[in-house]
Structure 1
Amino acid sequence: MTDQPSPSGSTLSEAETFLAAHPEIEAFDIVLHDANGIGRGKIIRRHELLSFYKGGRHLPISILGLDICGEDVHETGLIWDQGDGDLRAWPIPGTLVPLHGTTPPRGEVFMCMYDLDGRPMSSDPRHALARQVEALAELGLHPSAAFELEFFLLANERGPDGRVQPAADVLDGRRSAKTEVYSVDHLHGMMPLFSDIYAGAETAGIKAETMISEYAPGQYELTLHYRTDVLQAADDLMRLKRIVRAQARRHGVTACFMAKPVESYAGSGMHLHVSLCDAEGRNIFVEETEGQWSRPILHALGGLRETMGESMLVFAPHANSWRRFASQSYAPVSPSWGVNNRSVALRIPAGDIRARRIEHRPAGVDANPYLVAATVLAGIRRGLEQQIDPGPETTGNGYEDPGDTQPIPTCWRSAIAAAEHSAFLREALGPDMHRTFTAIKAAEYARVARTIPDVDYDLYLHTV
């Protein structure tokens, strides 16, 4: 392979320095994230790392056209239309890290796909986010962001009723079927696992912060430190999911990132907190007088409200995603906005005025954070450029607010149709990423639609 300058900005010296600092590491996971947010790639040996940094790694173009099961979706145009040829993946600067607790010791590095001439491959989700960051930079604006990670810890075995059940405490085997929301003592039973999660995050350079027992048995939330680089914020979320899953497995339980794994309890969200700074580093969402909202934050809310309906497929990409949206479930059911109100879709959190931001609440934890962030930034940009009025604030119970003139889809099928016909989403993701994503979702819908679920037999086998 002929060496060439890395289009991602990665350098050979980064790899050389890392290898010198970590002589114990024997292999590396090299990970590319597809439209569904699934990490795909290879495990390479230590001696292969330098060649990866010198010349990238050839991977088939079809790797970005796979469905949730890892099967080709021909409608993406990324398979036989292009002969399933190789493109070149390059390491992302700053993502080369050791992995905690692996035997033998391994490292990990994220990568992005590029055409052979070095242009960003336009069906790579991370490039879609980079485009939106660059578009805001052209306006002199720079976003900062952080995601929240909600997840379940489940037992590896199903319960007597055949359904998933909360994991027993890894400390002493106790099991609770109670909600336990905000219980600190309940957290103690999982502390050996949580300690390994924090250690894994620290080893990877991620500032994982508060752990909460959430609003369902076996559900937890882990917050992340605010980043001035949105791409890094999305990288953090992707890597933290891998850390949680790996450490849970080491402790004999299953980390679940389905949006709604338990029908009678709240689902898991992936809230995105975002703010914008100008060229001087001033947060443009900050109001001059507390509570008298700035025009930028109102216009940003307006853009997000106006584009939410056609963007819902990004925020709720799977069949299970749509089971999360229910009244009084802490998941929004209309494009409402409010202040210090967890029943709305777009929330201005309480707190220090200098940290003024928007909390975007529709996305489930099963969504792809690169695409979520790209779509949110594009919605904010539209609101700012067109000076869109967000309409009246929702006060009180947001589940009683129909969202007036801005409805959102009520099911997965209508969300797919809305996304397919959305000029906004085509611009937000880029035409190729838009085609790839919607084709993959349509194929997934067809797979689910032709599958006969157990409930059909329960309702109809002996009755119709």
Structure 2
Amino acid sequence: MPGLKSDHTANTSSDIASSHEASAFVHRHPELQFVDLLIADINGVVRGKRIDSASLDKVYSKGVAMPASLFALNIQGYTVEETGLGLEIGEADMICYPISETLCMTPWQSRPIAQLLMSMHEDRQTPFFADPRHQVVKMLERFKSLGLTPVTAFELEFYLIDQKQKDGRPQPPCSPMSGKRPDTIQVYSIDDLDEYSDFLIASIEAAHAQGLPADTIVAESAPGQFEINLSHIDDALTACDQAILLKRVIRNVAYEHGMDATFMAKPYEEQAGSGMHVHISLLDEQGRNVLAPQHEGDLPNDTLRWAMGGLLEMMGESFAFLCPNINSYRRFGPGFYVPSAPTWGMDNRTTALRVPTGDDNATRIEHRVAGADANPYLVMTALLAGIYYGITQQIEPGDPIEGNAYDQTEASLPCSLRDALRLLRDSKQLEQDLGSEFIDVFCACKDNELETFEQTISALEYRWYLNTL
């Protein structure tokens, strides 16, 4: 049973917003009525409470109580008692404090409502160990000790779906322009962007209104599938905050336009899944990209190779963070271009790690494995842990793959959530990086989901067995 205190915590009080932020915001928005206090749980699902705007100053000065069991919730929203964070501690509250510079208006609301991102603490100086956001903080402190700053960017794929299902299954929404329901694959189609332009433009505008650097939209590999990119920034923690909030923007704007949006990893059996690609480079204290070649022909240089070596070596044991749900593993099938082995290559989109070529100063690693359903904080933690391990231990990645990696490598990454959790539990390195308490809570939540899923009798089982046996 994890205790309420942990040795694996870092002081994040400097990240707590000042009360001056609240008063300045209310002064700029005298019409403000309510504020949604948001916190992302262990699944990356945003939860919280709505307060009257008159209480905002108190939230900034004293925080707001929320139960520790918020981080013991399974994907259905039920408390998993095996985490030790529910009845065992009397459903005890922790204190949540505002995250600086995340207070903003929500343009999709019909009333003047703002939102504010929170993080959970035991007290103002002690982060709560089960809040995944604090794991990123710990990893960034390790990079700071190396004199390095990660520069990161998220790419998120998602599906627009009709608010009405067909035979209990999702379906693409009818085009607001033509009224037709899309059924063809047109990667990078401008026409598809035009069909849903009102929603896409509104999403970008809503993102910008909240200070989220969304800059590119691409029509992806299936009907109703799109990708939206966030610009790179030199604050990996803020990049994760932005990814969480961008998902909220897309869902709410989609609903406002009569559709739903889903980041489920694989909503359609016959179509491609949705991924979460992450780009990472590293700056030294002089602002130089240490992954970039220092001399002609010096690509990949030592640091870049070691970073990839660590990511590749730790990919299996961190896989439960990259693919955290039962459905996550549906993405990994023939013909869907999802890496199923720890591979790397230069400008090769068939490998797990890709080094884009072009401007030397923009040299970076693109990590192409995680699903869109993953928690951005835990994905970032896993990636930073792998890079730090690779650089400090000087792990070599082996030879790059040229050509189609799927034809040259056997699938070796976990093929189920159960296998991934087993590797995570056995990882001494991740236990050292994240703390056994956090890993125990995460695994308990996922074990609960597996047990519930496996005890459920599916429609397919009835079709196969009921009248046959």
Structure-1-length-normalised TM-score: 0.96
1:321 to 313, 322, 328: 328
- Tell me the secondary structure at the aligned position of residue 150 of structure 2: strand
Which SS does the other structure have where 2:318 is aligned?
Answer: helix
Which residue of 419, 425, 428 corresponds with 1:423? 428
Partner of 1:189: 195
User: 2: distance between equivalents of 1:366 and 1:458?
Assistant: 29
The one-letter amino acid paired with 2:461 is D
RMSD: 1.5
One of 25, 28, 31 as aligned partner of 1:18 = 25
* Cα shift readout 1:346-380 (whole Å, capped 9, x = no counterpart): 11112211100000111000000000001100000
CA contact (8 A) 1:6 1:54 kept: no
The answer to which of 147-156 and 175-184 deviates more is 175-184
* Alignment match, 2:117: 110
Q: 1:459 aligns with which of 452, 461, 464?
A: 464
Paired with 1:445 and 1:187, the residues of 2 have a C-alpha distance of 38
In structure 2, how many angstroms separate the alpha carbons of the residues matched to 1:121 and 1:368?
A: 17
Show the counterpart of 2:164: 157
Equivalent in the alignment of 1:219: 225
> Which whole-Å CA distance do the structure 1 matches of 2:277 and 2:252 have between them?
22
Q: Deviations over 1:384-408 (max 9, x none)?
A: 011001011111111123369xx32
Change over 3 Å in CA distance of 1:172–1:50 after alignment to 2: farther
Deviation at 1:170, TM superposition (A): 2.5
- Within-5 A mapping of 1:227-266: 227-266=233-272
Residues 10-63 of structure 1: per-residue CA shift (max 9 Å, x gap): 101001111111112211110111110011110111101111001000111111
Change (3 A) 1:185 1:291: farther
Aligned partners of 1:36 and 1:367 also within 8 Å: yes
Query: In the TM superposition, what are the counterparts of 1:280-359 in structure 2 within 5 Å?
Result: 280-287=286-293, 288-290=295-297, 292-359=299-366
Distance 1:63 1:185, change over 3 A: same
Give distance in 1, aligned partners of 2:354 and 2:121.
Answer: 37
Superposed, 1:20-419 pairs within 5 Å as 20-116=27-123, 118-159=125-166, 161-287=167-293, 288-290=295-297, 292-402=299-409, 407-419=412-424
Shift of 1:83: 2.1
Please state how far the C-alpha of 1:7 moved relative to its aligned partner: 6.0
| Alpha-carbon separation, structure 1, partners of 2:160 and 2:299 | 42
Residue 330 of structure 1, CA deviation? 2.1
Letter in 2 for 1:174: K
d(CA) in 1 for partners of 2:100 and 2:17? Answer: 5
| Equivalent-residue separation in structure 2 for 1:56 and 1:89 (angstroms) | 5
Instruction: Give me the whole-angstrom Cα distance separating, in 2, the residues matched to 1:438 and 1:294.
Output: 37
Secondary structure at the counterpart of residue 310 of structure 1? coil
Contact 1:334 1:401 in 2 (8 A): no
- 1:453 & 1:132 partners in 2: Cα distance? 41
In 2, are the aligned partners of 1:285 and 1:356 still within 8 Å (CA)? yes
Deviations, residues 111-130 of structure 1 (Å, cap 9, x unaligned): 00000363011110100111
Deviations 1:186-245 (A, max 9, x none): 111111111210111011001111111100111000111101100111111100000000
Letter in 2 for 1:319: I
Report the AA paired with residue 318 of structure 2. Answer: S
Aligned residue pairs, count: 457
Q: How far apart are the structure 2 equivalents of 1:291 and 1:190?
A: 44
DSSP 3-state at the match of 2:17: coil
Partner-residue secondary structure (3-state), 2:74: coil
User: Which whole-Å CA distance do the structure 2 matches of 1:7 and 1:89 have between them?
Assistant: 14
Deviations 1:132-154 (A, max 9, x none): 01111111111010100100001
Letter in 2 for 1:106: I
Which runs of 5 or more residues in structure 2 are unaligned? Answer: 1-11
**What letter is aligned with 1:423?**
K
SS at match of 1:428: helix
Helix, strand or coil at the partner of 2:126: coil
In structure 1, the residue matched to 2:5 is: none
Distance across 1 between alignment mates of 2:303 and 2:14 = 34
What is aligned with 2:9? none
> Is contact 1:128–1:433 with CA below 8 Å preserved after alignment?
no
Which moves more between the two structures, 327-336 or 247-256? Answer: 327-336
Does 2:432 match 1:442?
Answer: no
Is the contact between residue 6 and residue 90 of structure 1 (CA under 8 Å) also seen in structure 2?
no
Q: Which deviates the most, 81-90 or 214-223?
A: 81-90
More deviation, 343-352/51-60: 343-352
Q: CA deviation at 1:291?
A: 6.1
Aligned AA (1:311): S
Which structure 1 residue ranges, 5 or more long, are not aligned?
none
Deviation beyond 4 Å, 4+ runs, structure 1:
none
- How far apart are the structure 2 equivalents of 1:235 and 1:61? 20
> How far apart are the structure 2 equivalents of 1:456 and 1:237?
38
Q: Distance in 2 between matches of 1:290 and 1:243?
A: 43
For residues 205 and 302 of structure 2, what CA distance do their matches in structure 1 show? 42
The alpha carbon displacement at 1:67 in A equals: 0.8
Name the stretch that deviates more: 6-15 or 324-333.
6-15
- Which AA in structure 2 matches 1:166? P
Distance 2:59 2:38 in 1: 12
